[in-house]
Amino acid sequence: MRGLLLLLCLPLAAFAKGEGAWEASNGGTTLTWRGVAASSSPLMPKDKPEGVMNLVVWRYELNGPIPAGLQTRLCSLSRCVAIEGGQGTTRGLTGVPASEPLRFIWEVPGGGKLFPMMRVQSNQVIVNYN
């Protein structure tokens, strides 16, 4: 009976071993001009996780109103996904190596100075991987 229980639990233990998550946060950036993209500093895991991303929870805070037409992307080294609003989740980075850093990229289409400037107060991601 004990052997049967061990055999039934073995696949669960193997599956759980490959799962994990990492979190990173940093201060933001300032967007001054329309038509010019601004990037956050890289958000990176503290260690080198093995596996691939399957769900990313993200959040950013602005000091002030959201400029009309703001386009925001969350990018790894190999892929970008469009995101909307100040927080949410995405599976758009599924399959990307979990060790890749992520960046937020903001842009307001058009030309000329953006008034008022858009200041990003903070950025945060939580990356789930398996």
CATH number at residue 38: 2.60.120.260
Predicted local confidence at residue 14, as pLDDT: 33
In this structure, the number of other CB atoms found within 10 A of the CB of residue 40 comes to 21
d(CA 115, CA 92): 32
For residue 97, give the DSSP letter: B
**Is 7 within a domain?**
no
Q: How many structural domains does the chain have?
A: 1
**Is 3 within a domain?**
no
**Is 13 within a domain?**
no
Check whether the bond before 65 is cis (ω within 30° of 0).
Answer: no
pLDDT tens across the length of the chain (130 residues):
433 333 333 333 333 345 899 999 999 899 999 999 999 999 999 999 999 999 999 999 999 889 999 999 999 999 999 999 999 999 999 999 999 999 999 999 999 999 999 999 999 999 999 9
Predicted local confidence at residue 18, as pLDDT: 55
**Is 10 within a domain?**
no
Question: By residue range, what is the domain housing residue 42?
Answer: 19-129
Residue listed under structure tokens 């055999």:
7
**Is 2 within a domain?**
no
**Is 11 within a domain?**
no
**Is 41 within a domain?**
yes
Query: What is the value of pTM for the model shown?
Result: 0.83
Predicted local confidence at residue 13, as pLDDT: 32
**Is 5 within a domain?**
no
